[in-house]
Structures are given as C-alpha cells and as structure tokens.
C-alpha cells in the first residue's frame, strides 16, 4: 500500500481554461512540473492526476491537469489537498529532514529521556519543535544547532544540548 505525502492545497479556480491556484505546502515549489503525477482524495479514494502545465507568477503557483480543460471541470477540486507518493519526494541534503520523519522521535536532554516530538512549527527564522514531556507539558524548542545536538532519523532520536534551559512546572 502506498504512503502519500501532502505537498499542496487547491485554493481556487483560475481562468476559464482549467488552471487552479494552489497553496504549496512544500519547500520545493519547483517540484511542480508538467508530467508530475499527483494524487487527490476524491470520494474517499486517492485518484491519480497528471499535471499538464504549470505557471509561476508573482510567487504563486498555478497548475492545469491533463483532460481538465475548463473551470467547470476543476471546480470540484477547490479545497482539496494534493499528495505525492514516497518515491516522488525530493531527496534532501544531510542534516535536512521531512517533518513526517521527525514526528514521533524521542527527545533526550543531557542524555536523559525528555519527551516525544509531536509537531513542527515552521516559522520564517527557523522551525520550532513541539515536544510533549513525560508530565504532558508541551515545550517549544527552536530547531537550531545551539539547542539541537544530533538527529538520528533511523533510530527516531533527537538529542538536545545542555544549553537548552527547562524547568518542569510540576
């Protein structure tokens, strides 16, 4: 069974010829190219769509799917999310990770179990890791080298350095 990964959301119909404005949920807007196979949830099932054309204009991305040639054809897609299969994920550099790989990692502070990474907040300056501690508190840790010592995705472990200060409320 295929794993699917979210890369965009369809915002609105654009122009009469079937183009759609999308909100890219990916650090790689250049991944949207003619011929790219994507999947959209239609009536509870992931259906395959092929991107026919892509236009980039003023920081926005517009796509047109094969065999969808007017606004009426694509109107039902507005609000839906666009996914790709794992094999179509962009290969990342070392020390760069997908959020879905980080979530669920055990976080250690000074080599002692601290909590589980439950979410990643993407901010302009840097990402922030949301860690749920053993006492059920949510702690925010900036994802910068000053605080994050090591990330071992294979073993789902993140080590946070001693320079990170934390006091439990309990």
pLDDT tens-digit series, residues 115-161: 999 999 988 888 999 999 988 999 999 999 889 999 999 999 999 98
How, if at all, do strands 106-109 and 157-160 pair? parallel
Residues 71 and 107 in one domain: no
Specify whether 58 is located in the same domain as 104: no
Residue at 167 is within a domain: no
Please indicate, yes or no, whether residues 103 and 73 belong to a single structural domain of this protein. no
Q: Does the pLDDT at position 27 exceed 80?
A: no
Choose the final residue of a domain: 58, 88, 118.
Answer: 88
**Six-digit token pair at 149?**
């010592």
- Could you say which DSSP state residue 88 is in? G
**In this predicted model, what pLDDT tens digit does every residue of 29-71 receive, in sequence order?**
888 999 999 999 998 899 999 999 999 998 899 999 999 999 9
Q: What is the CATH number of the domain that holds 126?
A: 2.30.30.240
Question: For the chain, what is the domain count?
Answer: 2
Taking the whole predicted model, whether its pTM rises above 0.85 is answered as no
Furthest C-alpha separation in the chain: 60
Given this model, what pLDDT does residue 93 score? 80
Question: What residues make up the domain containing 116?
Answer: 99-160
For residues 57 and 36, membership in a common domain is answered with yes
- Token pair for residue 165? 């200060």
Whether residue 81 sits in one domain with residue 11? yes
Same domain membership, residue 35 and residue 11: yes
Q: Is 74 strand, coil or helix?
A: helix
């Amino acid at each position: 069974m295929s794993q699917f990964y979210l890369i965009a959301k369809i915002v609105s119909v654009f122009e009469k010829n079937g183009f759609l404005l999308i909100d890219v949920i990916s650090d790689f807007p250049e991944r949207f190219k003619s011929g790219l196979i994507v999947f959209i949830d239609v009536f509870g099932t992931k259906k395959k769509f092929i991107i026919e054309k892509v236009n980039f204009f003023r920081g926005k991305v517009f796509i047109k799917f094969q065999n969808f040639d007017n606004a009426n054809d694509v109107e039902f897609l507005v609000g839906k999310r666009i996914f790709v299969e794992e094999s179509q994920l962009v290969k990342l550099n070392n020390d760069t990770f997908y959020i879905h790989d980080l979530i669920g990692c055990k976080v250690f502070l000074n080599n002692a179990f601290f909590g589980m990474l439950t979410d990643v907040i993407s901010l302009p300056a840097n990402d922030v890791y949301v860690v749920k501690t053993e006492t059920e508190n949510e702690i925010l840790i900036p994802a910068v080298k000053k605080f994050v010592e090591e990330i071992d995705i294979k073993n789902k472990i993140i080590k946070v350095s001693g320079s990170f200060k934390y006091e439990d409320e309990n």
